[in-house]
Amino acid sequence: MTTLDVSAVRTRFTGQVVAPGDDGYDGARALFYGGHDPRPAVVIRPADPAEVASVVRLAQETGLELSVRCGGHSPVGHSVVDGGIVLDLAHLRAIAVDVEERTVWAQAGLTAGDVTKALAEHGLAVGFGDTGTVGIGGITTGGGVGFLSRKYGMTIDNVLAAEVVTADGEILQVDDTHHPDLFWAIRGGGGNFGVVTRFKYQLHEVPGVVGGMILLPATPEVIHGFLREAAAAPEELSVIVNVMPAPPMPFIPAEHHGSMVVMGLVCYAGPAEEGEKVLAPIRALAEPIADFVRPITYAEMFMEEGDDEYHPTATARTMYADELDLGRVTQIVEQLRTAPAPIRVAQFRPLGGAVDRVAADATAYAHRGRAFMVNIASFLDGPDTRAEREQWVLDTSAVAENGVPGAYVNFLTEDGATRAREAYPGATWDRLTRVKQQYDPGNLFRRNVNIPPAG
Ligand SMILES: Cc1cc2nc3c(=O)[nH]c(=O)nc-3n(C[C@H](O)[C@H](O)[C@H](O)COP(=O)(O)OP(=O)(O)OC[C@H]3O[C@@H](n4cnc5c(N)ncnc54)[C@H](O)[C@@H]3O)c2cc1C
């Protein structure tokens, strides 16, 4: 490893170079999640794909560890590296919509919210997750499960092509016929294979949705009923069911603050009249505490503004469940009720629909055919609470998880190093290691849920 000569680096890039002591250094190394305090040797924001390739070569030349950053929402802080080089894609923000072809090329410095907003002008959409500030780079390379998943599949199911800078600094155009193995691997295999500088997505006409948040009392019967109705509903409906203490927000009646509620995020991507009918059995489960579900544009599902000062620390576990019967749900509610942390959440995402119409080996996301994705999370109140909160997460997960053990790579936390084989089971793992051997034999891209080169 050589010491980095930052002034020489500055002459090499027209994009932005931020080093310790520069204005903006602290902002450039901050992540969405707190609890990380890495001090990179340099943060480089390349101006174009050729400069991305230069950063990759710089990392090879210096031997400094490289991290790739898009939206900065990595739960484990993978996108910023202590003492190393941060390749921050923030300046790659070009977007080109082809309305007739219903496709978009979007550069990888954009967020889910940026792309959704730009497409909304044309009544078009591609599904990402539930949060607009998440970067398209991280969510797309890991999979992408959100408000349009049951209708139009995961984000990766809508990727038609991509531009990738490989470990040796080559810029490749990849799709089903050009570098098909690499194209397969970047759809679910995370950041292991190169830096994606732009994605081409298939778009869908989504003129409006019936969507928003509904708050219901968190009895086991209501939660079980919500999941049952959502799983049986037409695939136009995708929901995310969060069970958690009601936060003290102005739109929630004060008498409910702190009590357990179901915070359901719903999105019906079809005619409003049909949506109201499909949602009726969910609304009938109990008198809603609050009901903000109404006909809106799809972009309004992402109305939240990013808050640069909000950096929660949390521990969480991702898993799948094939059944969530009333007995199991009752035990989960009891776990939530008696949890040590003031803020804890059990999140359930009914899957199916278009997610399952893609073969398990068609992309590097192998968990097709699972009924529910589940995430159990507990916030921390200082490092001393970590062990206790992790134990609670494990205990609660043991109740929720059933069927073949599995993990969604984008929700893996510190357990990512030990659970990579659950994210990438069997033949998927073997193929990923072979693609890694071909495109990154030296494991330059290792700040991720790492897939080692075969052999
Ligand atoms: C509040 C919140 C809500 C979320 N909701 C959802 C959700 O609803 N659905 C869902 O599926 N996921 C969700 N996620 C998980 C999210 O998809 C992952 O954390 C994702 O990695 C974040 O992407 P990013 O670009 O913001 O992160 P970053 O921290 O910038 O990147 C994370 C890692 O992704 C890789 N990466 C990023 N960009 C590229 C690129 N262009 N080329 C190659 N590798 C790259 C790198 O390995 C990088 O270290 C959520 C996360 C948070 C924090």
* H-helix or E-strand spanning residue 386: helix 386-400
Q: Is residue 68 part of a domain?
A: yes
SS3 290: strand
Pair (218, 347) in one structural domain: yes
Q: Provide the residue type at 19 as one letter.
A: A
Query: Is 315 close to ligand 1, i.e. is its CB under 6 Å away?
Result: no
Query: Is 431 close to ligand 1, i.e. is its CB under 6 Å away?
Result: no
Pair (112, 181) in one structural domain: yes
Query: Is 363 close to ligand 1, i.e. is its CB under 6 Å away?
Result: no
Q: Is residue 75 part of a domain?
A: yes
Ligand 1 center to 74 CA (angstroms) = 5
Query: Is 132 close to ligand 1, i.e. is its CB under 6 Å away?
Result: no
Q: Compute how many other C-beta atoms are within 10 angstroms of the C-beta atom of residue 369.
A: 14
> CA 139, CA 144: separation in Å to the nearest integer?
5
Query: Is 89 close to ligand 1, i.e. is its CB under 6 Å away?
Result: yes
Q: Provide the residue type at 434 as one letter.
A: R
The CATH code of the domain that includes 75 is 3.30.43.10
Pair (177, 228) in one structural domain: no
Query: What values do phi and psi take at 385, rounded to 5?
Result: -90, -5
Pair (165, 240) in one structural domain: no
Q: Is residue 5 part of a domain?
A: no
DSSP symbol at 173: E
Pair (408, 271) in one structural domain: yes
Q: Is residue 455 part of a domain?
A: no
Pair (300, 165) in one structural domain: no
**Cβ(288)–Cβ(246) under 8 Å?**
no
Q: Compute how many other C-beta atoms are within 10 angstroms of the C-beta atom of residue 140.
A: 30
Pair (240, 184) in one structural domain: no
pLDDT value for 306? 65
Between strands 85-88 and 66-69, the pairing is parallel
Pair (218, 237) in one structural domain: yes
> CA 339, CA 204: separation in Å to the nearest integer?
42
Q: Is residue 449 part of a domain?
A: no
Counting Cα atoms < 13 Å in the Cβ hemisphere of 54 gives 16
Domain boundary among the residues 41, 71, 91 is at: 91
Q: Is residue 1 part of a domain?
A: no
Cα torsion at 422, 230, 103, 45 (round to 10°)? -50
Ligand 1 center to 75 CA (angstroms) = 8
Atom 13 of ligand 1: nearest residue by CA position: 129
For every one of its 455 residues, what pLDDT tens digit does the chain have, with 9 covering 90 and above? 567 999 999 999 999 999 999 999 999 999 988 888 899 999 999 999 999 999 999 999 999 999 999 999 998 999 999 999 999 999 999 999 999 999 999 999 999 999 999 999 999 999 999 999 999 999 999 999 999 999 999 999 999 999 999 999 999 999 999 999 999 999 999 999 999 999 999 999 999 999 999 999 999 999 999 999 999 999 999 999 999 999 888 888 999 999 999 999 999 999 999 999 999 999 999 999 999 999 999 999 996 666 777 788 899 999 999 999 999 999 999 999 999 999 999 999 999 999 999 999 999 999 999 999 999 999 999 889 999 999 999 999 999 999 999 999 999 998 888 999 999 999 999 999 999 999 999 999 999 999 999 98
Q: Domain range spanning residue 108? A: 95-205+425-439
pLDDT value for 3? 75
> CA 90, CA 17: separation in Å to the nearest integer?
12
Query: Is 188 close to ligand 1, i.e. is its CB under 6 Å away?
Result: no
> CA 120, CA 139: separation in Å to the nearest integer?
20
Pair (138, 280) in one structural domain: no
Atom 23 of ligand 1: nearest residue by CA position: 138
Q: Among 256, 272, 248, 270, which residue's Cα sits nearest to residue 151?
A: 270
**Cβ(55)–Cβ(165) under 8 Å?**
no
Pair (74, 120) in one structural domain: no
The tally of domains found in the chain comes to 3
> CA 386, CA 218: separation in Å to the nearest integer?
26
Pair (312, 283) in one structural domain: yes
Counting Cα atoms < 13 Å in the Cβ hemisphere of 24 gives 9
> CA 53, CA 51: separation in Å to the nearest integer?
5
Pair (116, 181) in one structural domain: yes
Atom 21 of ligand 1: nearest residue by CA position: 138
The CATH code of the domain that includes 199 is 3.30.465.10
